[in-house]
Chain A
Amino acid sequence: EEAEIDHDEL
């Protein structure tokens, strides 16, 4: 399962 890419920074 590929690590979900989370762009939490603006």
Chain B
Amino acid sequence: MNIFRFAGDMTHLISILILLLKIYATKSCAGISLKTQELYALVFLTRYLDLFTDYVSLYNTVMKIVFIASSLAIVWCMRRHPLVRRSYDKDLDTFRHQYVVLACFVLALLLNEKFTIQEVFWAFSIYLEAVAILPQLVLLQRSGNVDNLTGQYVLFLGAYRGLYIINWIYRYFTEDHFTRWIACVSGLVQTGLYADFFYYYYLSWKTNTKLKLPA
């Protein structure tokens, strides 16, 4: 464990908690893509199949449970909470995410560390995390609504990606046999998509600030 990875995990967790608290506090999920949140929950559920079989460390186990619980809590809030679900932009959140799930699964069958159930699902979760932001990106382009996507959320999400890439560079230079091609290549694609999301976030935020007429 290095400081970059620890900080990356913390900023990732904080970004999820910020979103969950924002939805819970405002009882609104306007501008948030349920499909992206469902994909994130699927990422954690398929990545942590080894939760009960392989024990890496207490930190690892606790964080896995927290990630699964917080991502499912967001999906539950957006689907079941009587007040929150009313503000869901159902007719704008129309990205066909089932095709993305299928494509990632087929890719995982072809490209994985080892052709076992656990490894195929692990690779699937890595590919899926890279493209999970797409429904949110499309919704943001359509709605331009950043009410619930606070700047802090975007900031911590960006920090998570940046710190993980630094972590991989650090491990590459300090560990002799560090090769995580699947995670690194997919992580770079993910960071590229996040950069695109941040760009549209900035455009929407700038437009909104202009729209708010001076009092």
Residues of A with Cβ closer than 8 Å to B? 2-3, 5-10
Contact = CB atoms under 8 A, between A and B. Distances in A.
Contacts of A2: 114
Given A7-B47, A7-B122, A8-B1, 4 more contacts: A8-B56, A9-B5, A10-B12, A10-B60
A10 B113 contact: no
Contacts of B177: 3
A10 B1 CA distance: 11
Nearest to B180: A9
Contacts of B63: 10
B9 interface: yes
A9 to B, nearest CB: 7
Interface string B54-73: 00100010011001000000
B67 A7 contact: no
A5 B9 contact: no
B67 A10 contact: yes
B113 A5 contact: yes
B5 A7 contact: no
Contacts of B183: 9
B49 to A, nearest CB: 10
B114 A10 contact: no
3 A-B pairs closest in CB distance? A5-B113, A8-B56, A10-B9
Interface in B118-145: 119, 122
A8 B113 contact: no
B5 A5 contact: no
Interface in B34-58: 47, 50, 56
